[in-house]
A = this chain, B = another copy of it.
Amino acid sequence: MPALYFTENEYKSRLFATKQEMQRSGFDTLILSDPANIFYLTGFDAWSFYAPLFIVVSCDLDEPIWIGRFQDAVSARDTTYLKEENICAYPDHYVQSSTCHPAEPASHILRERGLDRGVIAVEMGAYYYTARIHAEFVRYNPNARFADGELLVNRVRLIKSDAEQAYMRQAGRIADAAIAAAIDRCAPGVRECDVVAGIYKTQISGTPEYGGVYTTSPPHFCAGERVRTPHGLWTDQPLQNNSALNIEIAGSRLHYHCPISRTVYLGLPPDSYIRLADAVVEGLNTTMDHIKPGMTAEEVELVWRRSIAKHGFEKEARLGYSIGIGFPPTWGERTASLRPGDKTVLQPGMAFHCMSGLWLDSTGIAITQSFLVTKEGNEPLTQYDRSLAAKT
């Protein structure tokens, strides 16, 4: 029996919503290669996307068709609700070959099922839909017209079901535990890698009730000079006194992510740094006070923008992004962004990471908050104190 994380009915309603969007867009067939979309529609959960991996959704078929490397087909049987006839594997010699490509057997399956004509939509900009895959699909399906269906399923994912929201709250508890483990461990003389080791341990051990799984990205752990960088890597050098460090991590419960960032100051922070922290925390708190359904994504950003402007700051990078299911390399859903121009209307069940951080010429700070949009306003997904963590 496969171990499904949701009821079959929930998967059915996701598929139904996807087909509705396909019909609205005039797509007959949709080939998905984003691992998060594959997971969302079928439950498929194994590390298989290093080789071409697809599901094919047809408006005319009851179930998606899984197409992947032969030795990973057993994972499709273990983790999805799909019938055996809809689990299609290609032989191993197609893997990383210079002479043949998995799009060939995949196109053969399309032809067999009568899906090689009409409009085939693909995810043009999805991470694992390479230029080569597309060229091969076009070559092997001369009777089809290709269209861009990128983000179609990502948009269906924007509003989380009750069951999804429950997983996101659990991810939040894991994130809280992991950031606490990190900050507790930080001290002058401790190697950066040893603090990060403790983060990983807590992310995966999770809580006594449930464990965590891998996050899409490693901890961003930026100490010393790297405090100016948002996505830097830890070193194996000891932490220094009188320095700031930024930590950005997430908890992941069955691939549902809840990110959190905090800045730690080792030693007594200088006044200038305290003022910086005050501006960011005030901006975050003010923003959180305002967030409610009916606002647009850009209106949320404007609240933050005005608040930090009072202190003389400006942030070029977007303030945040929609979160939910994540597979490497990002826990962002790649749909709504909290930034000027984004007219997405916030609705109950959406989730965001408010990335209230500033990276300046010589320093950086990040004190952030993930949240669900609720009927009344918003629900923070982590409880960790919103402040600069000074360790004196």
Contact = CB atoms under 8 A, between A and B. Distances in A.
A379 interface: no
Copies in the complex: 2
A70 B122 CA distance: 29
A151 B132 CA distance: 13
Contact of A96 (B50, B93, B204, B332): B332
Interface string A1-21: 001000000000000000000
Contacts of A95: 317-318
Contacts of A231: 46-48, 71-72, 75
Interface in A218-264: 218, 220, 225-226, 228-236
A74 B363 CA distance: 11
A337 interface: yes
Contacts of A232: 46-47, 75, 78
Contact of A91 (B98, B214, B226, B316): B316
14 contacts: A3-B235, A47-B231, A47-B329, A50-B330, A72-B229, A78-B225, A91-B316, A93-B339, A96-B337, A125-B130, A129-B130, A129-B131, A193-B204, A210-B236
Interface of A: 3, 45-50, 70-72, 74-75, 78, 91-93, 95-96, 98, 122, 124-135, 148, 150-151, 191-194, 196-198, 200-206, 210-214, 217-218, 220, 225-226, 228-236, 316-318, 321, 328-330, 332, 334, 337, 339, 341, 359
